[in-house]
């Protein structure tokens, strides 16, 4: 069946935002508030099992303080974190991953529908796109963000909503993800999923991504070819539309 839509995760898939943006932004917000916490890479990697920044702060505070935090306190920390995140983006601390823009443009030129499907808030997504991908509105007209759903990944709700808004069948759509939660959400909605491992999912065992149609280290560029961990051979060293079509029509 023909491929009709690409659905893009953001954090870790489009850019290494978790490592280079969100984590240092959280730490800056903690320091500014006089809190004695610093999320190192390993700590933050474990916290990524919790989807959503607001939820992540709340769970962490509950764990370290032994009681559920005041929602207003969590919201205040999240607001300051978002301001620091926007500042880091403006300073060029976060860049798009290899092959992302190339594949988005190829898909748009071929007439495929495209959407963002993320647990991040709309403000954070807009900040990244303004800093790194000004053409995002034309390339990715539909954004399903954390505030648009009642249940975040790994629940499939976000992908189901994206397919509904794009008016495409899940079976003719492909999700690009980097995490186990994202894979579970995409597969739960009936989509084929390609995993592009990120800094935080690089150490995940291969079995964690057993339901993915293919697993790669990144999408690839001519001058920066990718490596296929699992899936069909990619002779160009780049994920292309024909490659993605082959994932929908396995031999």
Q: Which of 9, 20, 178, 217 is catalytic?
A: 9
Final residue in a domain of this structure, among 90, 105, 124? 90
Q: What element of type H or E holds 73?
A: helix 71-90
Contact 3, 112 (CB under 8 A): yes
Q: Are 25 and 115 part of one and the same domain?
A: no
Two tokens, residue 45: 């990697």
Q: Are 74 and 132 part of one and the same domain?
A: no
38-75: per-residue pLDDT in tens?
999 999 999 988 888 888 999 999 998 889 889 999 99
Q: Are 112 and 142 part of one and the same domain?
A: yes
Q: Based on the structure, what is the number of domains in the chain?
A: 2
208-245: per-residue pLDDT in tens?
999 999 999 999 999 999 999 999 998 889 999 999 99
CATH of the domain at 234: 3.40.50.1000
3-class state of residue 229 by DSSP: strand
Percent of the chain with pLDDT over 90: 90
Active site residue 148: no
- Assess whether pLDDT exceeds 70 at residue 107: yes
Final residue in a domain of this structure, among 38, 55, 90? 90
Helix, strand and coil percent figures for the chain, each rounded to 5: 45, 15, 40
Give strand ranges (E) for the chain. 5-8, 113-117, 142-144, 173-177, 192-196, 214-216, 228-230
Q: Which of 11, 40, 70, 148 is catalytic?
A: 11
Q: What pLDDT does 52 receive? A: 84
150-163: per-residue pLDDT in tens?
999 999 999 999 99
Q: What pLDDT does 65 receive? A: 87
Contact 51, 152 (CB under 8 A): yes
Contact 89, 128 (CB under 8 A): yes
pTM of the entire predicted model: 0.92
Contact 112, 139 (CB under 8 A): no
- Assess whether pLDDT exceeds 70 at residue 180: yes
User: Using 50, 70 and 90 to split pLDDT, how confident is the model at 251?
Assistant: low
**Structural domain harbouring 41:** 18-90
């Amino acid at each position: 069946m023909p491929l009709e839509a690409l659905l893009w995760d953001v954090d870790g898939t489009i850019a290494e935002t978790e490592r280079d943006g969100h984590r240092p932004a959280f730490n800056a917000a903690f320091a500014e508030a006089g809190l004695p916490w610093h999320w190192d890479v390993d700590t933050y990697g474990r916290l990524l099992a919790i989807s959503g920044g607001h939820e992540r702060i709340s769970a962490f505070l509950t764990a370290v303080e032994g009681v559920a935090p005041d929602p207003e306190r969590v919201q205040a920390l999240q607001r300051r974190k978002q301001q620091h995140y926007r500042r880091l983006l403006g300073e060029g601390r976060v860049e798009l991953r290899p092959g992302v823009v190339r594949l988005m443009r190829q898909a748009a030129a071929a007439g495929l529908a495209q959407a963002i499907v993320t647990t991040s808030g709309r403000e954070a997504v807009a900040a990244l796109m303004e800093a790194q991908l000004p053409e995002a509105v034309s390339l990715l007209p539909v954004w399903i963000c954390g505030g648009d759903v009642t249940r975040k990944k790994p629940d499939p709700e976000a992908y189901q909503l994206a397919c509904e808004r794009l008016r495409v069948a899940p079976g003719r759509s492909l999700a690009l993800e980097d995490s186990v939660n994202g894979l579970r959400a995409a597969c739960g909605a009936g989509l084929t999923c390609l995993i592009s491992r990120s800094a935080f999912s690089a150490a995940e065992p291969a079995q964690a991504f057993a339901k993915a149609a293919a697993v790669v280290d990144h999408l690839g560029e001519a001058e920066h070819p990718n490596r296929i961990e699992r899936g069909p051979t990619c002779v160009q060293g780049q994920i292309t539309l024909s490659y993605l079509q082959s994932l929908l029509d396995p031999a």
